[in-house]
């Protein structure tokens, strides 16, 4: 499959202005209510938001899947949060399926200590490509993410946690993704199922359930902004069902 692509227009300053909580490694958070103007690169660096987690030149200099895998695998926690948020915008956009296939092939052959990161990486790339994909390509991307999230297929808490964090991060990455990134009912059901499993007593799923719940809350806000009442209704019903369960809750 061949296609034409446009590299991301995001600057490190623009992209990082969407990021919340990265130095502590707590993941992304809903940002729809943020009203402050984006910070300049100088302001970001003066506050330590960029250099605290990674050298942003990685986004421009490491374009091969081999280099991306190496950086993603070896990244410390704070830097990994930054990668969840930005991925490598020059390497892949919503149209570049052949690059995603190349990345999948590289990951499939890799024998790494942190294998959960390796297994999750193609889905992370797909999540960040969704916001700029055509309908046909978006379905391929969603299928890949869904397959990796599927707890019936080699379930792993670390893999699932990475993907839910990345989906939230991709959604809030920029205004275009906030308006265009779409997931179907399978993802709402998967997020709800993780929350129910935790509330039913599987306390090992605390972090995964938190990330899934965070995604549902963030996606709900995006759908409200878009006026997408049909999908919004499905998420609100999921919220209600989770809230009705007895358990430690998500306070």
**pLDDT value for 89:** 56
**pLDDT value for 185:** 92
Instruction: Using the predicted structure, report yes or no on whether residue 204 has a pLDDT greater than 60.
Output: yes
Instruction: Using the predicted structure, report yes or no on whether residue 205 has a pLDDT greater than 80.
Output: yes
How does residue 72 score in pLDDT terms, banded at 50, 70 and 90?
confident
Structure-token match 């969407």, residue found:
18
**pLDDT value for 153:** 63
Q: Please compute the mean of the pLDDT values over residues 47-57 and round it to a whole number.
A: 42
Q: Using CB atoms within 10 A of its CB, is residue 215 exposed (0-12), middle (13-18) or buried (19+)?
A: buried
Q: What pLDDT, in 10s, does the model give residues 167-176?
A: 999 998 888 8
Distances (CA, A) of 246 to 195, 196, 204: 11, 10, 17
Q: What pLDDT, in 10s, does the model give residues 78-135?
A: 788 777 777 765 566 655 788 888 889 999 888 878 888 888 999 998 998 888 888 8
User: What are the E-state strand segments in the chain?
Assistant: none
Q: Classify residue 28 by its DSSP letter.
A: -
Share of residues in the chain with pLDDT > 70 (%):
67
Residue 79's SS3 state is: helix
Task: Flag the least confident range among 22-31, 88-97, 121-130, 141-150.
Answer: 22-31
181 is written with which tokens?
Answer: 């990134």
Q: Please compute the mean of the pLDDT values over residues 23-40 and round it to a whole number.
A: 41
Share of residues in the chain with pLDDT > 90 (%):
29
How does residue 235 score in pLDDT terms, banded at 50, 70 and 90?
very high
How does residue 234 score in pLDDT terms, banded at 50, 70 and 90?
very high
**pLDDT value for 152:** 62
Q: Classify residue 12 by its DSSP letter.
A: H
**pLDDT value for 7:** 29
**pLDDT value for 141:** 93
The C-alpha atoms of residue 249 and residue 115 are separated, in whole angstroms, by 31
Instruction: Using the predicted structure, report yes or no on whether residue 50 has a pLDDT greater than 50.
Output: no
């Amino acid at each position: 499959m061949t296609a034409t692509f446009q590299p991301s227009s995001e600057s490190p300053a623009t992209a990082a202005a969407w990021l919340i909580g990265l130095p502590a490694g707590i993941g992304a958070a809903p940002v729809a209510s943020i009203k402050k103007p984006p910070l300049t690169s100088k302001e970001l660096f003066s506050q330590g938001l960029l250099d605290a987690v990674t050298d942003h030149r990685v986004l421009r200099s490491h374009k091969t899947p081999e280099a991306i895998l190496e950086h993603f695998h070896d990244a410390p926690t704070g830097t990994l949060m930054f990668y969840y948020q930005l991925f490598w915008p020059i390497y892949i956009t919503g149209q570049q399926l052949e690059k995603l296939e190349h990345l999948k092939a590289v990951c499939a052959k890799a024998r790494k200590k942190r294998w959960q990161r390796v297994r999750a990486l193609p889905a992370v790339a797909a999540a960040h490509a969704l916001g700029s994909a055509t309908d046909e390509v978006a379905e391929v991307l969603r299928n890949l993410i869904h397959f990796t999230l599927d707890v019936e297929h080699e379930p792993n808490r670390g893999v699932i946690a990475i993907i839910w964090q990345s989906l939230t991060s991709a959604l809030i990455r920029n205004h275009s993704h906030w308006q265009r990134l779409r997931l179907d009912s399978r993802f709402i059901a998967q997020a709800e199922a993780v929350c129910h499993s935790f509330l039913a007593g599987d306390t090992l799923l605390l972090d995964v359930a938190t990330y899934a719940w965070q995604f549902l809350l963030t996606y709900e806000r995006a759908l409200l902004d878009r006026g997408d009442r049909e999908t919004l209704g499905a998420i609100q019903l999921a919220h209600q069902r989770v809230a009705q369960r007895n358990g430690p809750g998500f306070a």
